[in-house]
């Protein structure tokens, strides 16, 4: 999906929004804390979540004022819940949505609850996921943090290096050791809000307490909560479920607070069933494939020596040579990254033979390539692939030498009986990946 970003006018503030999908119900997604409309679609995990929601709804997305692509606001005039409700109304009006269900995630929960209680005529249903009603510990709300603990957290935020993910061990513990995810998470955070804006919003959140309005919510409500959530404890979800009249409370396994991490299909399935009465299994987008990474050895030095024009011409011949072999061995070009190719095959033996043919062709051009591959389950995205198998193949390729093809033991085992021979290169740890992996080099004929 490639939705266009538009702007709705809320008083004097421009609120960025998008409309995705053509489902029978309107669904307004209210993100927690900060967001960035267009950067969200660059992240395969967030994009998959949004695409799934849009599969059964007309999904309205927006960046709250002060965040993402919406207008910034001075810290002295931080938005109130009332102003944020007006922003939702402005987006709904601009999108010609008379009534909509609201999906409030984390800090988006209080605002969604306030809207549902205030404008029941414009709200068909309320869904809360990992939401809370107050951030500060109270006698009847003892699981929240104290003001002193929040002050300490804000000091940590101020001292934090923005090039690294903030507090990933609490926001997404299942991804705490995933280096690639950490980079994406940090980038999304930087684009969503500046450090000062994020801190100011944190201070604003401490002042929120919507406990008194819970009995005033009289629309169908679903409360979703992961049992091991380390940001919004399960007790917070249970509290909401107990205090909104007639609310349905569902507690799901998992300890990630970030909704697009972990078993997101379990969450989306509950939402779809609650809003539509039907729960569809998502279309299968996971297949077994052999993933191949190719990369020119010492490309920077070679480009410098040749000059821009000569290097560009040589690179074009390199690309053409690889594409000839991809077609010959029935592979699928996923993408190019500079002087690298990402390719998939539905047969590992053809992948190995294609790799050897690529090496031979590229050598005739006076270039050397390194190639790595692994076979495993991948996620088919719109113009890319995802999954841990992709990361394994990339790490294996990074270990290869000039004109060498390295494969994981999985590939070696799958091509048994094909006549392809290998040389054992021992057991290795692959950066950012669990366990150890035995690596093999394809023997040259």
pLDDT tens-digit map of 131-177? 999 989 999 899 999 999 999 999 998 888 988 988 889 999 999 88
pLDDT tens for 252-276 read 999 999 999 999 999 999 999 999 9
Asked if 133 and 210 count as a contact pair (C-beta separation under 8 A), the reply is yes
Other C-beta atoms lying within 10 Å of the C-beta of residue 78: 16
Share of the chain above pLDDT 70, in %: 97
pLDDT tens for 35-44 read 999 999 988 8
pLDDT at 179 exceeding the cut of 80: yes
Alpha-carbon distance of 100 to 271, in angstroms, equals 14
Identify the three-state secondary structure at position 64.
Answer: coil
Identify the pLDDT of residue 284: 53
pLDDT at 106 exceeding the cut of 90: yes
pLDDT at 399 exceeding the cut of 70: yes
Residue 405, sorted as left (phi over 0), alpha (psi -120 to 50) or beta, turns out to be beta
pLDDT tens for 364-394 read 999 999 999 999 989 887 678 988 899 999 9
Q: Where are the alpha helices (DSSP H) in 138-228?
A: 147-159, 168-171, 179-192, 195-206
* 192 pLDDT tier (thresholds 50, 70, 90): very high
Contacts of 337 (CB under 8 A, 6+ apart): none
Q: What does the mean pLDDT of the chain come to?
A: 91
* 75 pLDDT tier (thresholds 50, 70, 90): low
- Mean local confidence (pLDDT), 66-84: 81
Alpha-carbon distance of 358 to 356, in angstroms, equals 5
- Mean local confidence (pLDDT), 280-284: 59
Identify the pLDDT of residue 428: 92
More confident call, 160 vs 19:
19
Identify the pLDDT of residue 1: 58
pLDDT tens for 194-226 read 888 888 888 888 888 999 999 999 999 999 999
Alpha-carbon distance of 217 to 243, in angstroms, equals 9
CATH of domain 6-276: 3.40.50.1820
Other C-beta atoms lying within 10 Å of the C-beta of residue 341: 24
Identify the pLDDT of residue 288: 87
- What end-to-end distance do the CA atoms of the chain give, in Å? 45
Q: How many CA atoms lie within 13 A of 136 on its CB side?
A: 12
Question: What's the full length of the chain, in residues?
Answer: 445
In the chain, list all ranges with CATH 3.40.50.1820.
6-276
pLDDT tens for 283-339 read 557 788 999 999 999 999 989 999 999 999 999 999 999 999 999 999 999 999 888
CA 128 to chain centre: 20
Structure-derived torsion over alpha carbons of residues 314, 316, 318, 323, reported in degrees to the nearest 10: -170
Asked if 47 and 16 count as a contact pair (C-beta separation under 8 A), the reply is no
Asked if 126 and 108 count as a contact pair (C-beta separation under 8 A), the reply is no
Cross-strand bridge partners of residue 376? 289
Asked if 102 and 21 count as a contact pair (C-beta separation under 8 A), the reply is no
Cβ-count burial 245-266 (b if 16+ within 10 Å, e if not): eebebbebebbbbbbbbbebee
Lookup result for tokens 């000059």: 307
Q: Which of 238, 241, 243, 266 is nearest to 253 (CA)?
A: 266
pLDDT at 228 exceeding the cut of 60: yes
**Angstrom distances, CA of residue 144 to CA of 18, 148, 199, 209, 243:** 34, 12, 19, 12, 17
In the chain, list all ranges with CATH 3.30.70.1230.
286-442
CA 348 to chain centre: 29
Identify the pLDDT of residue 63: 96
Identify the pLDDT of residue 166: 87
Identify the three-state secondary structure at position 344.
Answer: strand
Which CATH superfamily groups domain 286-442? Nucleotide cyclase, GGDEF domain (3.30.70.1230)
């Amino acid at each position: 999906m490639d939705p266009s970003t538009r702007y709705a006018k809320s008083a004097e503030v421009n609120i960025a929004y998008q409309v995705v999908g053509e489902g029978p119900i309107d669904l307004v997604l209210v993100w927690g804390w900060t967001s960035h409309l267009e950067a969200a679609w660059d992240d395969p995990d967030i994009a998959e979540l949004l695409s799934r929601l849009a599969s059964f709804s007309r999904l309205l997305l927006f960046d709250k004022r002060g965040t993402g692509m919406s207008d910034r606001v001075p810290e002295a005039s931080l938005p109130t819940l009332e102003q944020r409700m007006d922003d939702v109304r402005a987006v709904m009006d601009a999108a010609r949505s008379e009534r909509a269900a609201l999906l409030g995630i984390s800090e988006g929960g209080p605002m969604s609850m306030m809207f549902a209680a205030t404008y029941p005529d414009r709200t068909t249903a309320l869904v809360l996921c990992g939401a809370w009603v107050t951030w500060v510990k109270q006698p009847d709300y003892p699981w929240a943090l104290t003001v002193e603990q929040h002050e300490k957290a804000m000091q940590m935020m101020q001292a934090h290096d923005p090039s690294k993910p903030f507090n990933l061990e609490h926001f997404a513990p299942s991804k705490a050791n995933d280096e690639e995810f950490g980079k994406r998470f940090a980038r999304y955070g930087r684009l969503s809000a500046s450090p000062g804006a994020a801190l100011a919003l944190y201070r604003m959140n401490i002042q929120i307490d919507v406990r008194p309005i819970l009995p005033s919510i009289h629309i169908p409500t679903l409360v979703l909560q992961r049992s091991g959530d380390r940001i919004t404890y399960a007790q917070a979800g249970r509290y909401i479920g107990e205090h909104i009249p007639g609310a349905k409370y569902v507690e799901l396994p998992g300890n990630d607070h970030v909704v697009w991490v972990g078993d997101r299909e379990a969450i989306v399935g509950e939402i779809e069933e609650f809003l539509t009465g039907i729960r569809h299994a998502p279309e299968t987008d996971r297949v077994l494939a052999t993933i191949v990474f190719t990369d020119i050895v010492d490309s920077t030095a070679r480009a410098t020596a040749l000059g821009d024009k000569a290097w560009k011409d040589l690179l074009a011949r390199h690309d053409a040579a690889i594409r000839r072999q991809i077609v010959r061995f029935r592979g699928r070009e996923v993408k190019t990254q500079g002087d690298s190719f990402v390719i998939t095959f539905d047969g590992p033996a053809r992948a190995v033979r294609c790799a050897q043919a690529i090496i031979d062709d590229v050598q005739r051009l006076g270039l050397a390539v390194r190639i790595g591959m692994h076979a495993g389950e991948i996620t088919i995205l719109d113009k890319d692939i995802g999954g841990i198998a992709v990361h394994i193949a990339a790490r294996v390729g990074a270990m290869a030498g000039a004109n060498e093809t390295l494969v994981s033991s999985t590939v070696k085992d799958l091509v048994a009986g094909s006549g392809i021979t290998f040389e054992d290169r021992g057991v290795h740890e692959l950066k950012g990946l669990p366990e150890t992996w035995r690596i093999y080099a394809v023997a040259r004929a």
